[in-house]
Amino acid sequence: MTRMNEPRVLRSASALSAWRANLRPLPASTRAPLALVPTMGALHEGHLSLIKIARAHAHSVLVSVFVNPTQFNDASDFEQYPRDESRDIELALSAGADAVFIPTPDVVYPEGAQTRVRVGALSETLCGATRPGHFEGVCTVVLALFQLTRCDVAVFGAKDYQQLTVIKRMTRDLHLPVEVIGAPTLREPDGLAMSSRNLRLSDESRDDASSIYRALCAARSLWHAGERDVEALKLSARDQLSDQVDIDYLEVCDADSLELRSGVLASDPSNSLVIAIACFLGEVRLIDNLLLSSP
Ligand code: AMP
């Protein structure tokens, strides 16, 4: 069944406002009126799990599908990003979304738009260091989507740990009336974090990609066994990675400030730590992370 022209597929700001104005009246419930699940499409089970979490927090759920040009610092990555609109609509609505917002770039960025949102230090380590301008693009589009949709709740995956942290900070710093909820990472049976980019992996690279999760788990096990030397933790992760995995970064950082850690850590650190990796398999860039400890 194709749902391309159905009324729950919204492509313009006016269609979105009209839909928003007709949201079902709220029953006596503690749930917020509207939750947004922002995505770049090529939906998978990870995205669908966000929709289910959104439904538990809000009366209506809107999924946005927008491959945001301003967050790509590599033109060919943008062009090759997987797109399958009709499948996305079908999956989002079947998973419980009430509508899907699929704007064109001119809907999100009005002609002549020149405003950008930049979060400071949090967006300068990890992916911020190796993808200049990435988080500026992310924050700008997320703020625009918050404004367009006037959502009360927004759900983001912890798979993109730095993105979740940066958006929470932007929301707090700018007093945005949106509750940002973090959702756990869904994984394939071999541990690979689900990602739209996995579709671009060759069969061989797909096998190699399973070593990413093994690498993070090795560091986490060593951490739990008492190892506090960051280099030793990173080495244990690197040892597990397939030779075909080209590391962009592999870092241990503070889970709140995202400051990189080095040397020997306190045996009982007061803050949580995260081990985060970005790497290339061929041309495909994948990221993943695991929490090492909670205070
Ligand atoms: P994307 O379409 O990749 O921009 O992702 C849209 C949202 O889905 C983001 O909040 C991601 O963090 C989240 N997401 C992506 N992959 C997963 C996953 N494997 N598990 C849970 N959430 C995910």
Ligand 1 centroid, distance to 37 Cα (angstroms): 9
Is 57 among the catalytic positions?
Answer: no
A 10 A CB-CB count for 44 gives 16
Q: What is the pLDDT along the chain (295 residues), one digit of tens a residue?
A: 556 667 899 999 999 999 999 886 676 667 899 999 999 999 999 999 999 999 999 999 999 999 999 999 899 999 999 999 999 999 999 999 999 999 999 999 999 999 999 999 999 999 999 999 999 999 999 999 999 999 999 999 999 999 999 999 999 999 999 999 999 999 999 999 999 999 999 999 999 999 999 999 999 999 999 999 999 999 999 999 999 999 999 999 999 999 999 999 988 777 899 999 999 999 999 999 999 976 5
Q: Give how far the C-alpha of residue 213 lies from the chain's centroid of Cα atoms, to the nearest Å.
A: 17
Pocket around ligand 1: residues whose beta carbon is below 6 Å from it? 39-40, 46-47, 49-50, 156-157, 159-160, 183, 185-186, 193-196
Q: Give how far the C-alpha of residue 196 lies from the chain's centroid of Cα atoms, to the nearest Å.
A: 11
Is residue 265 left, alpha or beta, with left meaning phi > 0 and alpha meaning psi from -120 to 50? beta
* Distance (Å, whole) CA 165 – CA 146: 16
Residues 125-162 pLDDT 10s: 999 999 999 999 999 999 999 999 999 999 999 999 99
Q: List the one residue out of 196, 211, 217 whose CA is nearest residue 285.
A: 196
Taken as a whole, the chain contains a residue count of 295
* Distance (Å, whole) CA 291 – CA 285: 21
Catalytic residue, candidates 47, 57, 59, 134: 47
A 10 A CB-CB count for 75 gives 9
Mutate to test the pocket of ligand 1, among 47, 167, 284, 286 (most ligand atoms within 8 A of CB): 47
Residues 59-101 pLDDT 10s: 999 999 999 999 998 999 999 999 999 999 999 999 999 999 9
* Distance (Å, whole) CA 205 – CA 285: 11
Ligand 1 centroid, distance to 188 Cα (angstroms): 14
Q: Whose CA is nearest to atom 6 of ligand 1?
A: 39
